[in-house]
Structure 1
């Protein structure tokens, strides 16, 4: 106790920021300090460490499927995910990612759980750490020809074929893509598999960038904000300005707009 009294609350606060384990001796010593400021700092530190541990556990849990394959000597496991099934305009985009066993980007999770800023920060880091990554892009014309489900499968196959390493195993988000590679289809795989999580981020960032470029060509539709989804502003623009070359003519709101025009 006496040693803790010799330093100020601010000094303890500063040192607690460097504590990364609940077993840290400084934490154990200062928990007995009866100063209100110290107790508040201890409480915040414990909460921070507990939150970090939960995040670390969840991160490790997302390696479960990959590790089961790695333990069998299957080293190249590709996670595959897509983005863009629901929009009225633009392509469907898929990404495939093969990660190393020491992948350590703890923030990587289902892209839908992350902010745009976080996804854009993570995407280049994923590319840096990945053993391989690839993309598949299927445009609106093919979507109209084959339907969105088949177009999604085409995008996923294209992403696998774009990898510079041939995967030995695929983990896919709720799809079967019928390639000559063993595949594991998981519902909500983007939240269960770290490889699929990484793929979901890359696919989302890639497609968002494409839609931002389309926004420059067709600013009336606000593609940079709605990514081609049928928002109120997008539907209003369809009724007012008609259908662009990137709209999916087989989707009902676009068909309705064509009838209006």
Structure 2
């Protein structure tokens, strides 16, 4: 009879249910039952993730008008904060991307998982592009127009031209067919990939801004208007990376 440790090791090396596992269900040892239940939980989770991945791949493929058509996904990070840039990304993925198991809306993933997936996306993408739109440009245009411009630049900077562009809830003017997808990062693999690249790039930028302006604690709030951040604005005033047309920054500047 194998020890619980030996059984645990065998289960860790097993990717799909096998005949020998049915005998474990009759094993009276609590440790064996625990290991078996753990394996089935992990297996079911993986099956769900594989189904989600395939659904996203199929969603993107549904927009291909011919075999071999290239679909780009576009998304942004940072439309709502009081400080820092808007970052937009465009990504063209290969038809199959099993390495991206678990890829979802960037806001639903941990920092470590976003960083891991970001590295993989850059390695396997047919093409990707990231554009950083400054706070100054946001003030010049307004946040909606600045985000749209940044997305269009990201698409135009791809070194491979896509046949269709899927955008998360935005209409773009680029030299190919475009589709605005509501909650696109939850449906499209390419948009979810763009969401990851935009989010990880912006978080890294905000970490750098934190080193330059630690009083606002950008490392924690990434530019959003938390109570701590707003209090710092009243105490120190805004810096060059704050959006001067956003409230309460606009009012604070008018009162100085």
TM-score (normalised: structure 1): 0.93
Q: Which residue does 2:27 correspond to in 1? A: 33
Q: Which residue does 1:205 correspond to in 2? A: 200
- Distance in 2, Cα, partners of 1:121 & 1:36: 36
- My pick for the range that moved more, 101-110 or 168-177, is 101-110
- Distance in 1, Cα, partners of 2:219 & 2:110: 15
**Stretches of structure 1 lacking an aligned partner (at least 5 in a row):** 1-5
Q: Which residue does 2:54 correspond to in 1? A: 60
TM-score (normalised: structure 2): 0.95
Q: Which residue does 1:3 correspond to in 2? A: none
3-state DSSP of counterpart to 1:122: helix
Maintained 8 Å contact 1:97/1:199 = yes
Q: Output one character per residue of 1:221-244: Cα deviation in whole Å (capped at 9) or x when no partner.
A: 111211111011110111001111
Q: Output one character per residue of 1:124-183: Cα deviation in whole Å (capped at 9) or x when no partner.
A: 211001010001221112211211011110010011011110111101101111222111
Match of 1:175 among 162, 170, 176: 170
Answer yes or no: is 1:10 the counterpart of 2:5: yes
Alpha-carbon RMSD across the aligned residues, in angstroms, is 1.4
Answer yes or no: is 1:103 the counterpart of 2:102: no
Answer yes or no: is 1:188 the counterpart of 2:183: yes
- Distance in 1, Cα, partners of 2:65 & 2:146: 34
Q: Which residue does 1:242 correspond to in 2? A: 237
Q: 1:144 to 1:71 in 2, by over 3 A?
A: closer
- Give 1:79 shift: 0.3
Answer yes or no: is 1:130 the counterpart of 2:125: yes
Counting matched residue pairs gives 255
Maintained 8 Å contact 1:109/1:190 = yes
Runs of 4 or more, structure 1, over 6 Å off, are none
Maintained 8 Å contact 2:156/2:174 = no
Q: Output one character per residue of 1:196-255: Cα deviation in whole Å (capped at 9) or x when no partner.
A: 111000001111111111112211111121111101111011100111111111111111
Maintained 8 Å contact 1:215/1:224 = yes
Maintained 8 Å contact 1:109/1:191 = yes
Q: Which residue does 1:42 correspond to in 2? A: 36
Q: Which residue does 2:81 correspond to in 1? A: 87
- Give 1:72 shift: 2.6
- Distance in 2, Cα, partners of 1:135 & 1:8: 52
- My pick for the range that moved more, 86-95 or 13-22, is 13-22
Maintained 8 Å contact 1:89/1:140 = yes
**Stretches of structure 2 lacking an aligned partner (at least 5 in a row):** none
Answer yes or no: is 1:21 the counterpart of 2:16: yes
- Give 1:68 shift: 1.9
